Homo-oligomer: A and B are copies of this chain.
Amino acid sequence: MALLVMKFGGTSVASIKHMENVAARVRQEKQAGNEVLVVVSAMGDETDRLVSLAEEVQDQALDTRRELDVLLSTGEQVSIALVAMVLLKNGIAAKSFTGGQVAIRTDAVPNRSRILEVDADKLRVELAKGVVPVVAGFQGIDEAGTITTLGRGGSDTTAVALAARLDASECRIYTDVEGVFTTDPRIVESARCLEQISFEEMLELASLGSKVLHTRAVELAGKSQVPLRVLSSFNDAPGTLITREEDLTMEAPLISGIAFTKNEAKLTLLGVPDLPGIASTILGPISAANIEVDMIVQNVSADLSTDFTFTLSREDYDEAATILKQVAATMGAREVTGDSSIAKLSIVGVGMRSHAGVASKMFEVLAAESINIQMISTSEIAISVVIDEKYLELAARALHSEFKLAESTA
């Protein structure tokens, strides 16, 4: 008998009617002889409603993070109660549990706690009785018994943590998309839903802008070797299985997907004295202003100076440019230049490891379309380039076609 952890996001439990659909899926798995544990998020836009109540109190300077967690955790508590009721109504033995009730122990950092341990005994007892435990995602308690929440992607993380602790055969994340696509189908019509992908590739895709799953949940699944499946709760397609590279049932394709993010900007400091420590001298004040930096490229220089470029979210561009001009003045750099209409595009694939020439093929494709590459950065299974934003769609389609991503490798 296999144990399945089934996690349903906000859109999948948005109403009682949606919950009936959840019950149908649970019944199907129970009838197939599986044990089932359900994890749920807050209904639809309930979290937004709660956040706006908190915002009405209005005081940025105030530390109300402890109370914010007490408030937000009610969203998932409403869901577990109602989903358990709907399961009961459908003749399925079920019981709801808050994060605290199944001892999802976290550190004491409010609003973005990390799970330390899970006491699975209570859940094992219920599963052994044939009961479907319905557990609140996103929440836990710290050592003092204070309610905590896990931050973005929290419910997925809860599901993976429970699946790992209970040795589940699969952790299924039901969402409003069909799975992980080779690229954004809104941009490239021929984008295809992947059948399988490795944890490593998914991590690169997620962190590079394909926001189907939060990086944190994928990391934890990879670390605990829990097969993860992303699938739609609105149809019966099998979705995408995210698993260990060695468990993929087909040979890894050259590349698996193309990720991209618009809304990017870049800033360059020209003629920086090429001395140890300049990176931190430049980025220290940026980071102190709570601005997140993405790609960083520094070129070797012919003279004793170098050029230093980084990308960041477009909304932080003006503030960062102001800071950078002050930094340039104090360190004697020649000039600050920037561009706030760029995009980042990445190709990801474990196949790159064993196949040379992926990078040069990518550059050839872009050159054939006369797309200038402004920055390049690489990891073992990903190559990222920065290009002018207006070429993004063209680049994505050309690469998707050239690497034959529309064709299944199965």
Contacts and interface: CB of A to CB of B under 8 A. Distances in A.
Contacts of A50: 78
A101 interface: yes
A85 B101 contact: no
A270 interface: no
Contact of A74 (B59, B62, B63, B77): B77
B70 A77 contact: yes
Given A89-B62, A101-B145, A57 B82 contact: yes
Contact of A81 (B62, B63, B67, B84): B67
Given A63-B88, A71-B82, A71-B85, 15 more contacts: A16-B53, A50-B78, A54-B81, A54-B85, A58-B89, A64-B88, A66-B95, A66-B96, A67-B82, A67-B88, A68-B81, A74-B78, A77-B77, A100-B100, A101-B145
A78 B75 CA distance: 9
A51 to B, nearest CB: 12
A80 interface: yes
6 contacts: A57-B86, A57-B89, A63-B88, A67-B96, A70-B98, A98-B147
Contacts of A58: 89
B78 A64 contact: no
Nearest to A102: B145
Interface in A24-51: 50
Nearest to A136: B70
Contacts of A77: 70-71, 73-74, 77
A70 B88 contact: no
A407 interface: no
A22 to B, nearest CB: 12
A56 interface: yes
Contacts of A71: 77-78, 81-82, 85
Contacts of A53: 16, 78, 82
Given A53-B78, A70-B81, A88 B62 contact: yes
Minimum-distance CB pairs A-B, first 6: A71-B81, A70-B81, A74-B74, A16-B56, A64-B85, A67-B81
| A interface bracket (residues with beta carbon within 8 Å of B) | 35 or more
A137 to B, nearest CB: 15
A145 B70 CA distance: 18
Nearest to A66: B95
Copies of this chain: 2
A66 B85 CA distance: 9
Contacts of A100: 100
A96 B84 contact: no
Interface in A81-139: 81-82, 84-86, 88-89, 95-96, 98, 100-101
A146 to B, nearest CB: 8
A88 B63 CA distance: 8
A320 to B, nearest CB: 32
- Among A53, A66, A67, A71, find the residue whose CB has the most chain B CB atoms closer than 10 A: A67
A351 to B, nearest CB: 48
Contact of A54 (B54, B68, B82): B82
A43 to B, nearest CB: 9
Interface in A162-205: none
Nearest to A61: B89
Nearest to A15: B56
